[in-house]
Chains A and B, each alone.
Chain A
């Protein structure tokens, strides 16, 4: 099972409604994945500023962490707390130093994502509760992807929830299961990629990040994954300016897409799309197996 949703806006007028639509889509997919949920939202940003999204344990002292980080970096750090997550926005030139400092100051924090546009939130629990705890419906942005999980390949933990991010502004959600993830993980570890979980999806995310880091386009990286990843999968991936869709050669896992002048939307089931504006007039289609689909905003 598992449910995937994605919404890529073509019409900037819809940007303030992005979170609201995504939360409705996520909630509709509860039956496919009630154990945890997560989403990545691509919002405003500039190359000069980097957003670091972190997950904190219960009773974490956000206030003193913010003060400590700002003084340690001696730079302006904008800290936003949403539920169990913190988004620290700071100058991109300080990003690497900030990551090292965060590890030193608060080793109990887990890095959720890093990028100039992306914020990534995930938690165990019903999708409606998860999106409410992070205030998803009030978020705006250009595109977003989300996932409701029914755990099959690894434990029900926040770390095992999707999306997985293994590169700046990159994230991936997955419906299905990979049969050769241990083998691919070993191969990627030899290539210098590190993994935080035993999850098969993290391997797929790591695989794409590895290919992208070698200078491949996302389309080529997705094409290559058809050869190297074995199993059942529908992937939806996000980058700073776009989102892509790929299904395995059998087309084993369900997928439906809707395109209008205003947006492109992805859902594991049609009903996830049924509340979108203008869905009655959308072009509805199923992505073909083993075919890369990609939509991009002009950078």
Chain B
């Protein structure tokens, strides 16, 4: 008779991040160990980076840099705050942070959803390529810099230079925007956008928390797509 596991607890006070990540990387399709609890993260880096399995990792505490980077399929819940580069280059799956997040949330991320209950710092969604990022608090300066695809929705305020040199991502901000970056403009919020935003909120269970009608939409003016000498000063 073999023992069937359905949950596993890893205490980073006694195990290394490398041991944890090696165990997570070894997970195969159909694994019975679908829930992992990580204790005592104490701000160390690269926890649960490089996952590719349908599992849920719940981290109890604050994580350091690059948590859940390159994530594919997994759900990573952080009961604390997250350091720089959370979910960098994520492909799919869900990252849910109960606290605040540092700079460069979801940098270059291609897919999946990142939810921040608190605030995110600067460069949130830098070069995002398809990820949906929902921040219930506010975001810092230079967010969505060179964003290419996906959506960034912010319940609070946005810092300086929102959407600088943006390509095609959709930015929704409910509060104030300190300033817009080069080639980022406010765009009309039509029914189709409200519906799209509502659907995104619904998919992560926050629809109804907030009225989608209160958001403003920002996006690319599309004047920097191709080099034009008159724009040289704006690059």
For B81, the chain A residues whose CB sits under 8 A away are 270, 284
Interface residues as binary, B52-95 with A (CB distance below 8 Å gives 1, 0 otherwise): 00000000001011000000000000000101100000000000
For B142, the chain A residues whose CB sits under 8 A away are 251
User: In residues 155-191 of chain B, which contact A (Cβ within 8 Å)?
Assistant: 159
For A271, the chain B residues whose CB sits under 8 A away are 42-44, 64
For B65, the chain A residues whose CB sits under 8 A away are 269
Q: How far is the CB of B165 from chain A (nearest CB, A)?
A: 14
Interface residues as binary, A259-281 with B (CB distance below 8 Å gives 1, 0 otherwise): 00000000001111111000000
Is there a chain A Cβ closer than 8 Å to B108's Cβ? no
How extensive is the interface on chain B, given as a class?
20 to 34
Asked if A274 contacts B100 (CB within 8 A), the reply is no
Asked if A286 contacts B64 (CB within 8 A), the reply is no
Main secondary structure of the interface of B (DSSP, over half): loop
Give the CA-CA distance A271 to B81 in the complex, in Å: 11
Asked if B44 contacts A286 (CB within 8 A), the reply is no
Asked if A286 contacts B62 (CB within 8 A), the reply is no
Give the CA-CA distance A269 to B62 in the complex, in Å: 12
Is there a chain A Cβ closer than 8 Å to B127's Cβ? no
Asked if B83 contacts A270 (CB within 8 A), the reply is yes
Q: How far is the CB of A245 from chain B (nearest CB, A)?
A: 15
Is there a chain B Cβ closer than 8 Å to A66's Cβ? no
Is there a chain B Cβ closer than 8 Å to A254's Cβ? yes
> In the complex, what residue of chain B is closest to A251 when comparing beta carbons?
B122
Asked if B84 contacts A289 (CB within 8 A), the reply is no
Q: Tell me which of A270, A275, A289 has the highest count of chain B C-beta atoms within 10 A of its own C-beta.
A: A270
Is there a chain B Cβ closer than 8 Å to A139's Cβ? no
Other-chain residue from B42, B43, B99, B103 in contact with A286 (beta carbon distance below 8 A): B103
Asked if A289 contacts B141 (CB within 8 A), the reply is yes
Is there a chain A Cβ closer than 8 Å to B140's Cβ? yes
Give the CA-CA distance A285 to B100 in the complex, in Å: 8
Is there a chain A Cβ closer than 8 Å to B148's Cβ? no
Asked if A251 contacts B42 (CB within 8 A), the reply is no
Asked if A286 contacts B141 (CB within 8 A), the reply is no
Is there a chain A Cβ closer than 8 Å to B220's Cβ? no
Q: How far is the CB of A198 from chain B (nearest CB, A)?
A: 31
Asked if B140 contacts A288 (CB within 8 A), the reply is yes
Asked if A286 contacts B122 (CB within 8 A), the reply is yes
Q: A274-B43, A289-B122 are in contact. Are A269 and B141 (CB under 8 A)?
A: no
Asked if A270 contacts B62 (CB within 8 A), the reply is yes
The 10 closest A-B pairs by CB, nearest first: A271-B43, A270-B43, A286-B121, A274-B42, A274-B43, A251-B122, A271-B64, A270-B83, A284-B81, A270-B62
User: 5 other contacts beyond A269-B65, A269-B83, A274-B42, with CB at 8 A cut-off?
Assistant: A254-B84, A269-B43, A285-B100, A285-B119, A286-B140
